[in-house]
Amino acid sequence: MSESLKKCEACDETFSWNDEVVLVNDEVYHKDCVSLYPTGYFAMLDGEPLGETENDDGSSAYEVMHEGEYEEESA
């Protein structure tokens, strides 16, 4: 496993290539780790505001990270 794998800022777990992720202020979170509010969207973690995000539906990790920053699907 590479030392350059990115981790979720909330749960500290690495990302798999197809995880649904949300970008907030250049930080990456699993979509299920944060609460999204339709104010343009605003992400919250444990009731604390993280900031605004544009990808309210989440994105696949491979769409927003570089190869080597997420775990590849095992064969």
| pLDDT at 41 (0 to 100) | 76
Predicted TM-score (pTM) above 0.95: no
User: Tens digits of per-residue pLDDT, 54-75?
Assistant: 776 788 888 888 888 888 887 6
Token couple for 40: 């343009």
Q: Cα Rg for the chain, rounded, in angstroms?
A: 12
Q: Is 32 helix (H, G, I), strand (E, B) or coil?
A: helix
User: Tens digits of per-residue pLDDT, 6-34?
Assistant: 999 999 999 999 999 999 888 999 999 99
| pLDDT at 2 (0 to 100) | 52
| pLDDT at 3 (0 to 100) | 66
51, 43 Cβ separation under 8 angstroms:
yes
Q: How many helices (H) and strands (E) does the chain have?
A: 1, 6
